[in-house]
Amino acid sequence: MIYKTTKRLLAAVLSMGLLLSCVSVASYAAEDDQTAPENITMSPVKKRYSFKAGETKKDSFKIINDGKRGYTFVVYARPYSVRTENYLPDFTTEASNADVYQWVQFDAPSYELDPGESVNVEYTVRVPKEAAPGGHYGVLFAETQPDEETNGNVVARTKRVGAIVYANVDGEITKRGDADAAKIDFFQTEPPLQATQSFQNSGNTDFDVDFRFTVSDIFGSKKYDSVGTYTVLPNTTRNVLMEWKQAPWFGLYKVDVTSKYLGKSSSYSGFVLMSPLWVYIVVVVVVGARVAYAIRQRRK
């Protein structure tokens, strides 16, 4: 009798433990979903338009919630320009041609999106009749909003995605640009292996640069090859950086850089010796010692 009672109590304890474990797992999963970061994706991330002054056009972009947490997001437009030749984006300076944000009106200011859902954000672009011919630029943003029900121990987080708008207004269009020779430094001390080339836009609208960056060893075997396209805004100079990020720490390589823009093309080649800095220091010390020794021998 005692044995049966003990057995029943043990079974009850195990059942209660399993139940509590399930409740704990479910509670943890629910809590994990609540604290998971928002995942927000925009498609496309670039918009190109050709307008006539005074024209109106409707369009949209898609926002996708590919995470585990629902959220509210707001939409708005801002200026788009760049700072320095490295093209650091600027979303606050109201440059003369960064005025597209003033032309955009969204159908709704905010949206709610559950996990796994998507929505098309509709908007209208109204080009002023007095808009100057040439390129005009802006950016369309979608930004998540923090939950209203947060306590003092939770940091409110937001995420923002954007699509750059390249708008061209018909009229007297000038496409003009030049490029400097590609810069390929022979001595490089650590990955990534790099080359750069600068492009100047002296016209009144943007143009694209298509480039190819190829790295081969001294026997002609191709080690790395990449292609890409960069946009150069009017009245700016853009420094295009090309990189082989997984380059070995030591080696002698041949680098080829080709670019095409505005019906022009350029091609440059150079060699790169990739080696840690200490190797160059040792070489300098050895060479210096040899020179000093030779000088002393001559004085004898």
Q: Give pTM, 2 decimals.
A: 0.80
Band the pLDDT of 284: cuts 50, 70, 90: confident
CA pair distance 254, 274, nearest whole angstrom: 11
The CATH homologous superfamily for domain 177-279 is: Immunoglobulins (2.60.40.10)
CA pair distance 132, 97, nearest whole angstrom: 9
Which tokens sit at 159?
Answer: 């995420």
CATH 2.60.40.10 residue spans of the chain = 41-148+157-169, 177-279
CA pair distance 254, 184, nearest whole angstrom: 10
Q: List, for residues 200-246, the tens digit of each pLDDT value.
A: 999 999 999 999 999 999 999 999 999 999 999 999 999 999 999 99
Instruction: Return the percentage of the chain with pLDDT > 70, whole number.
Output: 84
Between 161 and 296, the more confident residue is 161
Band the pLDDT of 158: cuts 50, 70, 90: confident
What pLDDT, on a 0 to 100 scale, did the predictor assign at position 156?
A: 65
Q: List, for residues 165-202, the tens digit of each pLDDT value.
A: 999 999 999 999 999 999 999 999 999 999 999 999 99
**Above 50 in pLDDT, residue 15?**
no
Highest mean pLDDT among 37-46, 151-160, 262-271: 262-271
CA pair distance 259, 213, nearest whole angstrom: 9
Q: Is the peptide bond before 44 cis (omega within 30 degrees of 0)?
A: yes
**Above 70 in pLDDT, residue 152?**
no
Between 9 and 72, the more confident residue is 72
What pLDDT, on a 0 to 100 scale, did the predictor assign at position 77?
A: 98
What pLDDT, on a 0 to 100 scale, did the predictor assign at position 253?
A: 98
State the fold for domain 41-148+157-169: Immunoglobulin-like (2.60.40)
What pLDDT, on a 0 to 100 scale, did the predictor assign at position 22?
A: 37
Quick count: other Cβ atoms within 10 Å of Cβ 36? 12
Band the pLDDT of 287: cuts 50, 70, 90: confident
Across all residues in the chain, what is the average pLDDT? 87
Q: How far is CA 35 from CA 102, 116, 233, in A?
A: 36, 17, 41
What pLDDT, on a 0 to 100 scale, did the predictor assign at position 4?
A: 47
